[in-house]
């Protein structure tokens, strides 16, 4: 079940100089500290309209506002949805998520999600925070994910993510011919006018760092590998669009398909018909929460991205520039 939460409260005089998560816990006692911290990190809990980190200080008289969806894991039901399991043991489950599968139930997607599939596979996950999920992939992003099967594993994986010791690498195909790799270090927050979107913001954003390097060049496009240092919502999509290299197939941050002048019909068709953002989570590195040893998992590129790269190699080659 999904409940929409809209709350606000004013920080009292005694709150001056206190951490945001401490003030929020006192002003909104019906919610746990961990839930409030998650809302702060997700941008659902703001201070005078600005996004802050849990440890940042709050001024007396500041207005704290919560606008969030409260997900009740107890109400989630298992559904027989196929899972491509890469690894499973008593503590964790690693899987290859297909494009088009929503991770969590939310407005517009009350069932048919990855969480419903996981609960069907292992019923005890219904009792874990967020159904055992510790990190997300967008609906139309494919690739490797890990979920916890026990509370101990869930807590340990969350700690690793917060400490930024989990290694995450992606493959992406961008519009534009890059000359080399780079690092994007640009804070992110909610788009100032389109609240369903994220954006690079000048003030009040959260630290966000993305590293990328060129894997394959084409005349008007680039295949890159991406390594995340932080894990903000839509981070890769936003950062690459900010650098004017949006992902192929991303209408939210890239707009309509960009067709090079003089492109062949095969290239036109490939660009216009690619059904999603060209982004795949290829590699995940973590410390196993019970065995305490480092493990690495990989998922090969899905067929749709392999086919896209094949078309670009023949129809958009660097040594055969069109236009």
Q: Which of 2, 21, 1 is nearest to 11 (CA)?
A: 21
| Rounded CA separation 96/80 (Å) | 16
CB-based contact 187:205 (threshold 8 Å): yes
Asked about 89 being catalytic, the answer comes back as no
Catalytic residue among 138, 140, 171, 316: 138
CB-based contact 177:218 (threshold 8 Å): yes
Tokens of 89: 């043991």
| Rounded CA separation 211/62 (Å) | 36
- Biggest alpha carbon–alpha carbon distance for the chain: 68
CA angle 109, 110, 114 (to 5 degrees): 75
Long-range contacts of 118-124 (CB under 8 A, 24+ apart): 118/83, 118/93, 118/147, 119/76, 119/77, 119/78, 119/79, 120/78, 120/79, 120/80, 120/81, 121/78, 121/83, 121/93, 122/93, 122/149, 123/78, 124/149
Backbone phi, psi, residue 139, to 5°:
-50, -45
Residue pointed to by tokens 């993510």: 161
Q: Decide the pairing of beta strands 2-10 and 182-185.
A: unpaired
Q: Which residue numbers are catalytic?
A: 138
């Amino acid at each position: 079940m999904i409940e929409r939460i809209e709350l606000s409260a004013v920080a009292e005089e005694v709150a001056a100089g206190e951490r945001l998560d401490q003030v929020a816990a006192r002003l909104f006692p019906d919610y746990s500290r961990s839930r409030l911290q998650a809302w702060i990190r997700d941008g659902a809990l703001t201070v005078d309209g600005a996004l802050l980190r849990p440890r940042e200080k709050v001024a007396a008289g500041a207005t704290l506002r919560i606008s969030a969806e409260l997900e009740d894991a107890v109400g989630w039901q298992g559904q027989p949805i196929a899972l491509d399991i890469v690894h499973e043991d008593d503590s964790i489950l690693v899987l290859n998520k297909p494009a088009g599968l929503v991770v969590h139930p939310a407005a517009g997607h009350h069932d048919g999600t990855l969480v419903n599939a996981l609960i069907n596979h292992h019923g005890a996950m219904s009792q874990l925070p967020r159904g055992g999920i510790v990190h997300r992939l967008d609906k139309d992003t494919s690739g490797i994910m890990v979920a916890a099967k026990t509370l101990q594993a869930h807590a340990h994986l969350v700690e690793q993510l917060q400490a930024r010791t989990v290694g995450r690498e992606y493959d992406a195909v961008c519009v534009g011919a890059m000359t080399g790799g780079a690092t994007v270090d640009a804070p992110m927050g909610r788009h100032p006018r389109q609240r369903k979107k994220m954006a690079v913001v000048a003030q009040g954003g959260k630290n966000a760092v993305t590293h990328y390097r060129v894997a394959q060049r084409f005349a008007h496009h680039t295949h890159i590998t991406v390594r995340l240092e932080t894990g903000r919502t839509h981070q890769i999509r936003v950062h690459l669009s900010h650098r004017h290299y949006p992902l192929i197939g991303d209408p939210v941050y890239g707009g309509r398909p960009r067709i090079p002048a003089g492109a062949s019909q095969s290239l036109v068709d490939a660009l216009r018909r690619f059904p999603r953002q060209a982004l795949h989570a290829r590699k995940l590195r973590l410390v196993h929460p019970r065995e305490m040893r480092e493990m690495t998992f990989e998922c090969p590129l899905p067929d749709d991205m392999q086919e896209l790269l094949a078309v670009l190699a023949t129809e958009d080659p660097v040594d055969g520039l069109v236009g």
